[in-house]
Amino acid sequence: MQPDVEIGLLEPVPGASEEDAEAVRRMVAKGVLGSLLFRTDDVQAAFERVRTAGADIIQEPTEMPYGVIDCAFRDPSGNHVRIGQELDPASGS
């Protein structure tokens, strides 16, 4: 837990024309404009909380060849969010 870390999610391009804002929203939804990545000690539990909350699931927890298990979803604004857990190399999981 990091109480000194604050993350704010804002509507894309506040104050822009509706046409420009919609173009940015489409790019965000496609994952073109980057994403958020969080680390956890229990990716399965985090994934279940996200699924239960009704998020748009992109990827269920999957073990990756680079030593993590992670999942991905879109938040209500379309932002691409990943939650990952480092695997213990000694245990193979």
State residue 29's pLDDT score. 73
Average model confidence (pLDDT) for the chain?
Answer: 84
The architecture that CATH gives domain 35-93 is: 2-Layer Sandwich (3.30)
* Nearest by Cα to 64 from 48, 82, 76, 50: 82
Residue-wise DSSP of 5-36: -------SSTTS-HHHHHHHHHHHHHTTT-EE
State residue 24's pLDDT score. 82
pTM beyond 0.75: no
Confidence of residue 5 (pLDDT cuts 50, 70, 90): confident
Residue range 9-50, pLDDT digits in tens: 666 677 788 898 888 878 877 777 767 889 999 999 999 999
One-letter amino acid identity for 70?
A: D
Does residue 38 contact residue 83 with C-beta atoms inside 8 Å?
yes
